[in-house]
């Protein structure tokens, strides 16, 4: 009898980098990028690479222990597919290949040493999977190298790898020496040019994510989430210029960033500054998905597809706590009937709201609105920018509470314009009315007319609450409510 092969469910990726060794275990839903396990050990394999051309001996000792620990953990987690990759430090060190072979013998696990081109492509694929409409240049700054890739239309094009990792730049010298060294490296490629229309610079890697966390604190941004945090290019340029001038003592005071990352901020800022000068992006956007997510997709023999990862995540999350299962398409028909003139981006978020319409259904009634708002605002999903999170959260606040001016909605209000908040209120009130009618919504419909908002519904489903909620929705649209029996 032929034995049936079980489809791989858990993928474990070990990234042996220049600065750290990390294991991430992903489950069977690759489009969420939510790992089942994520741990790292800081080893700094590439700390002495520029000076000696060899791996840091103490780093090798730490990396050996970390790798064996991760092999054992992957076994305990019953990982179906285990893959280990090494990047710039092992790739470039004279003893790198020998060290990788030693780890393979000790552990019985194969280690693939990525080329600069392979590392660049994997990082770009990770970004494209989490930000499908990414257009511009992806930059992956690690401890031993910088990878750059041009992306557009869900595809990677030009790419290059540079020996500009933050560990390698630690002993470059003065600020002017650092700037000259970065410029000389970037000058050897001819495709780093402005695009028309301007794209974005997408930043991944620990040092640039530390930059983002520092800027979140500095700007008092109302949402502490790095993924798809977007900064106007001019503002990012000025912030980089400030960081490059900071003394070691001043850097030590930046408590928003880990003590290991602070010394590398000036180098990370200098590289970003020079990329902004060359690419002239509209924005600098940070991604929590990158190299490891790209490698995970590769291990599953998958490429970033056309499926919307946000809507897929909202479908799963929305089902988990719902009392009533509603068809998103029927709810979206109610929203469309309002004639709000939604942009494509707003319509997409409205579709997400329809999937999350009963996300707080199992919570205490007194806290459903706040709970739904917070879950949407801090949604563990990708492919959603911060203003879109705010829009979605306000929709759900209105769906449960009939208003969006509560004190706990202030962070979302700060990220949205007044007219956007008006549309969020209307969508939320429409969903509130729809859920009041359920299950009678199947035969009901809304119709916007010149001066009225008509609700056609079977008389069995008419109640004072339905009348009140229709009136609230009509008032938000400056229309008169008109209840008509079917």
Q: pLDDT, tens digit, for every residue of 385-403? A: 999 999 999 999 999 999 9
Give CATH 1.10.3210.10 domain extents, the chain.
Answer: 309-485
Most confident among 22-31, 130-139, 442-451 (mean pLDDT): 130-139
Say whether pLDDT at 200 is over 70.
Answer: yes
- Report the sign of the C-alpha dihedral through residues 344, 130, 225, 259, in that order: negative
Give CATH 3.30.420.150 domain extents, the chain.
Answer: 117-294
pLDDT digits (tens, 9 = 90+) for 50-82: 999 999 999 999 999 999 999 999 999 999 999
Average the pLDDT over 455-476 and give the result: 95
The pLDDT of residue 304 is 58
The pLDDT of residue 8 is 52
Say whether pLDDT at 3 is over 70.
Answer: no
Of the two residues 307 and 479, the one the predictor is more confident about is 479
Fold of 11-113: Nucleotidyltransferase; domain 5 (3.30.420)
Q: What is the CATH number of domain 117-294?
A: 3.30.420.150
The pLDDT of residue 29 is 74
Of the two residues 327 and 405, the one the predictor is more confident about is 405
Say whether pLDDT at 1 is over 50.
Answer: no
Give CATH 3.30.420.40 domain extents, the chain.
Answer: 11-113
CB within 8 Å of 191: residues ≥ 6 apart: 150, 158, 160
The pLDDT of residue 2 is 29
Band the pLDDT of 303: cuts 50, 70, 90. Answer: low
Out of 35-44, 256-265, 294-303, 399-408, which region has the weakest mean confidence (pLDDT)? Answer: 294-303
The pLDDT of residue 305 is 60
The pLDDT of residue 7 is 47
Band the pLDDT of 294: cuts 50, 70, 90. Answer: very high
The pLDDT of residue 31 is 66
Band the pLDDT of 302: cuts 50, 70, 90. Answer: low
The CATH class, in words, for 309-485 is mainly alpha
pLDDT digits (tens, 9 = 90+) for 107-149: 999 999 999 999 999 999 999 999 999 999 999 999 999 999 9
Say whether pLDDT at 32 is over 70.
Answer: no
């Amino acid at each position: 009898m032929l034995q049936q092969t079980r489809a791989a469910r858990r993928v474990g990726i070990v990234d042996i980098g220049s600065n750290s060794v990390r294991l991430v275990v992903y489950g069977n839903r690759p489009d969420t990028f939510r790992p089942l396990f994520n741990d790292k050990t800081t080893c700094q394999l590439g700390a002495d690479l520029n000076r000696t051309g060899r791996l840091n001996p103490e780093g090798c000792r730490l990396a050996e222990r970390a790798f064996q620990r991760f092999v054992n953990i992957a076994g305990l987690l019953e990982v179906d597919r285990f893959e280990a990759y090494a990047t710039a430090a092992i790739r470039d060190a004279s003893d790198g290949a020998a060290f990788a072979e030693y780890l393979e013998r000790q552990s019985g696990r194969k280690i693939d040493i990525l080329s600069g081109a392979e590392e660049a492509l994997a990082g770009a694929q990770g970004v494209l999977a989490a930000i499908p409409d990414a257009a511009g240049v992806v930059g992956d700054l690690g401890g031993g190298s910088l990878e750059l890739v041009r992306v557009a239309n869900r595809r990677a094009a030009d790419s290059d790898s540079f020996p500009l990792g933050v560990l390698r730049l630690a002993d470059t010298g003065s600020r002017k020496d650092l700037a000259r060294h970065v410029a000389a490296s970037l000058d050897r490629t001819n495709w780093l040019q402005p695009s028309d229309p301007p794209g974005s610079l997408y930043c991944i890697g620990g040092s640039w994510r530390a930059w983002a966390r520092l800027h979140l604190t500095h700007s008092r941004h109302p949402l502490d989430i790095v993924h798809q945090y977007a900064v106007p290019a001019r503002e990012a340029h000025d912030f980089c210029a400030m960081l490059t001038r900071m003394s070691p003592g001043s850097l030590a005071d930046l408590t928003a960033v880990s003590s290991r990352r602070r010394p590398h901020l000036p180098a990370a800022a200098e590289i970003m500054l020079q990329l902004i000068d060359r690419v002239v992006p509209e924005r600098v956007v940070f991604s929590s998905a990158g190299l490891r997510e790209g490698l995970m997709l590769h291990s599953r023999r998958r490429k970033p597809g056309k499926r919307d990862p946000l809507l897929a995540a909202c479908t799963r999350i929305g089902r988990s706590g719902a009392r009533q299962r509603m068809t998103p398409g029927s709810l979206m028909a109610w929203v469309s009937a309002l004639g709000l003139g939604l942009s494509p981006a707003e319509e997409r978020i409205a579709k997400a709201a329809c999937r999350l319409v009963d996300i707080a259904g199992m919570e205490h009634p007194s806290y459903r609105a706040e709970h739904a708002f917070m879950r949407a605002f801090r949604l563990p999903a990708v492919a959603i920018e911060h203003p879109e999170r705010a829009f979605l959260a306000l929709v759900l606040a209105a769906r449960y509470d009939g208003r969006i001016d509560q004190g706990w909605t202030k962070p979302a209000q700060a990220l949205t314009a007044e007219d956007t908040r008006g549309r969020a209120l209307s969508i939320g009130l429409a969903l509130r009315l729809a859920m009041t009618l359920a299950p009678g919504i199947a035969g009901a419909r809304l119709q916007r007319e010149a001066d009225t908002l008509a609700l056609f519904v079977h008389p069995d489903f008419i109640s004072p609450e339905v009348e009140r909620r229709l009136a609230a929705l009509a008032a938000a649209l400056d229309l008169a409510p008109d209840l008509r029996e079917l």
